[in-house]
Amino acid sequence: MFAPAQLYAQGARRHMELYGTTARHFAEVAVVTRRHAILNGNVVMNKPLTVEEHHASRMISDPFRLFDCSLESDGGAAIVISRAERARDLKNPLVTILGVAEGHPESPASIAQRPDLLEFGLVKSAPRAYEMAGVGPKDIDVAEIYDCFTFTVIRQLEILGFCKTGEGGPFVMDGRIGLGGALPINTHGGLLSQGHVVGLNHVIELTRQLRREAGKAQVKDAEVGLVTGYGDMGDGSIAILRRAA
C-alpha cells in the first residue's frame, strides 16, 4: 500500500464500521460537488453526476470508487497576501485573514501506523484557528474543504465541529452541503470536480465567495468562511477568512 487511495481507504472503512457511514453518504459529497462545478464553468468535470453513476463506477480501493477520488489534472492558481493598509486602495473588496493554523497527526508519514486511523492534523489545528479568529462553527457561512476523497470531507466536517464524530455521513444529506443549504461546501467543484490544484483553488474560491464574485455558485450574504488544506497524509491546515466591512 503506497497510493493515497489505498491509505485513506483504511480510514474510510474504519469509519463505516464504527459509525455506519455508507457509500450513499460518500456519493452525496461527489454529486453535490459536481453540481457546484457545473455552475462554476472553469472545471475539468462539467457533466452531471448521479448517485447511481457513482455507485456503478469502478472500484479503486475498497470502499473508494472512481468518483470518490480527486482528479489528476493540470492547472494553475495564485494568491496575493498584503497588509490591510496596503490593500485598501485596491479595486476589489478586501478579504481579511482572521485565523490560521496547521497540525500534524501522530506518525504523520504513515496512516497505517497511527494509533487512530481517523486522526487528521486538523484535530490539532482547528481549535487554534477558531480561537485566533474569535469565531466558531456556527459563524461559518461557506466552507471549502480539502476533498482528496469523499470520505475525508465527511471526517473533516466532524473535526471542524459542524457535527459530532460519527455523524458526518448523515450530516451531508438532505441538501445541507449544497447551495442554499445550512453549510455550502466546495462551491467551485473542489479537487473532485474542478481540478486538483493542490488545494490552492479552494483558497481562491473562498476569496471569490467573500467578495461576492462567485457567479451562479454564490452563497448569499457570505461573510465568514473557512478553507482546509493538506500535505503528506492528513496534515491539517485551516484558514478562516472574513469579508472586510
Which residue is listed with cell 464553468? 41
Q: What is the Cα–Cα distance from 187 to 194, expressed in whole angstroms?
A: 10
- Between CA 234 and CA 240, with CA 239 as vertex, the angle to 5 degrees is 135
Continuous H helices in the chain: 4-19, 23-40, 51-56, 84-87, 122-133, 150-159, 168-171, 190-193, 200-211
Q: How does DSSP assign 71-134, residue by residue?
A: -------------HHHHTTSSSPPEEEEEEEEE--SSTT-GGGSS-TT--THHHHHHHHHHHHT
- Taken as a whole, the chain contains a residue count of 245
The answer to whether the CB of 150 falls within 8 A of the CB of 70 is no
What pTM was estimated for this model as a whole? 0.96
Sequential pLDDT tens for the chain (245 residues): 788 999 999 999 999 999 999 999 999 999 999 999 999 999 999 999 999 999 999 999 999 999 999 999 999 999 999 998 888 888 888 999 999 999 998 887 788 888 899 999 999 999 999 999 999 999 999 999 999 999 999 999 999 999 999 999 999 999 999 999 999 999 999 999 999 999 999 999 999 999 999 999 999 999 999 999 987 788 899 999 999 97
- Give the SS3 label for residue 241: strand
Name beta bridge partners: 241.
97, 225
* Ranges of each domain in the chain: 4-243
- Between CA 175 and CA 186, with CA 181 as vertex, the angle to 5 degrees is 85
Q: Domain 4-243's class?
A: alpha beta
Task: Look at residue 112 in the predicted model and tell me its pLDDT.
Answer: 80
Task: Look at residue 88 in the predicted model and tell me its pLDDT.
Answer: 84
Task: Look at residue 1 in the predicted model and tell me its pLDDT.
Answer: 74
Q: What is the Cα–Cα distance from 134 to 99, expressed in whole angstroms?
A: 8
